[in-house]
Amino acid sequence: MLASSLLACPIHSVYAARSNSSNYSIDIDSANGQVAVTLRVDVNQNLTGFITDFQLPVSKFVLQGSNASLAQTVFQQALQAKNQDLTISDLKLEANLGPYVDFVPGQWFNVTASFIVHGVTQQASGGAVVVNLNWKDFAVQLGVFAQSVEINRIGESYLYNAFQTWVEKQREVQGSSTRHISFEVDGDSVQSDGVLNASRSFTVFDFSKLSTPLDSWPQRFDFSSLSTVWSKSESSTVTALLTIVEETTSTLPYSVRSSVSAEVAVKGVANASGDSIRTDTSSSVSSMVMFSIIAIAVSVLVGSTLYIRRLERSSPGKVKKGK
């Protein structure tokens, strides 16, 4: 049982604060079974540093309510491809597509989305709640548009043409002793057809790399929010490498990249089996959590007291005044 293993572990090994850097969060309220998803995708490109006439569209907008109905349908279809029984509601999309600045920091494309997932929880014996997260690695394959700007299939709409230019440049410098162009996808070397395929299929809302079962993700208990937390990070990168041979050899990476830091959090104590989470709402768990909090407080107090006494012993003794 998870409860007993928490008590058996040293206090410091089960405590960790919830990460502020996670950009794909699934928060589960064990009291009512509500599953809230908040995600942010940050895409960065510096291809413009070499192909000066290329740039992702510059725009800023919010889709919410009736304006987000089409996007919500697209998102729901993507999640239902993993679990046909679920539905989503209250989708809100915000996008901020800034201008290209320089080779560093390049151009940032930031999109946030939030929604509620229904139909993935059920009551179990003893008041526990079982949550099915087999949809966590969903991938939106269809286009998502706002103000005539594609914010999901940016590979097909924008990046593919840019990498076609890179492939043409590679042919131009072939055999050159001072210029060399090569390509990588997620750090692996690929030929021109590989980089074109990867750039064409590049989508913003693709979380397929989170497909490993939840019970294989690192798990911890966060005492600041009294939540059980699982976390995992992944990234996608398509890169053109320009190597210049002059007095010295230098290689410049021109790329488009996105990363995701996912976090699943459940109030209280919970355990995972595959992609299913079972919460434990028994009074013994509450007592265990309170005991652990008290134990941490006591250990901090004892540690502070010992530290102060050590400082007092190491400081020069006071000279007593004579009578």
Q: In the block, which residue shows the tokens 């729901």?
A: 76
3-state secondary structure of 296: helix
pLDDT of residue 42: 92
Q: In the block, which residue shows the tokens 């949550």?
A: 131
Q: In the block, which residue shows the tokens 């076609």?
A: 164
pLDDT tens-digit map of 26-62: 999 877 778 999 999 999 999 999 999 999 999 999 9
pLDDT band at 246 (very low <50, low <70, confident <90, very high): confident
Q: Tell whether the model's pLDDT for residue 15 goes beyond 60.
A: no
DSSP bridge partners of 113: 39, 93
Could you tell me how many helices (H) and strands (E) the chain has, helices first?
7, 16
Report how far residue 217's alpha carbon sits from residue 237's, in angstroms, rounded to the nearest whole number. Answer: 22
Report how far residue 79's alpha carbon sits from residue 71's, in angstroms, rounded to the nearest whole number. Answer: 13
Q: Tell whether the model's pLDDT for residue 16 goes beyond 50.
A: no
Amino acid found at 110: N
Q: Averaged over 7-32, what is the pLDDT?
A: 54
pLDDT tens-digit map of 140-158: 999 999 888 999 999 999 9
pLDDT tens-digit map of 111-151: 999 999 999 999 888 778 899 999 999 999 999 998 889 99
Please report the sign of the dihedral spanned by the C-alpha atoms of residue 288, residue 293, residue 295, residue 296: positive
CB 36, CB 265: distance < 8 Å: no
CB 264, CB 277: distance < 8 Å: yes
Angstrom CA distances, 190 to 164, 200, 226, stand at 14, 14, 46
pLDDT band at 299 (very low <50, low <70, confident <90, very high): low
Element (H, E) at 257: strand 249-267
pLDDT tens-digit map of 44-53: 999 999 999 9
Q: Tell whether the model's pLDDT for residue 215 goes beyond 60.
A: yes
Element (H, E) at 11: helix 11-14
Element (H, E) at 277: strand 276-280
pLDDT band at 4 (very low <50, low <70, confident <90, very high): very low
Ranges of each domain in the chain: 14-282
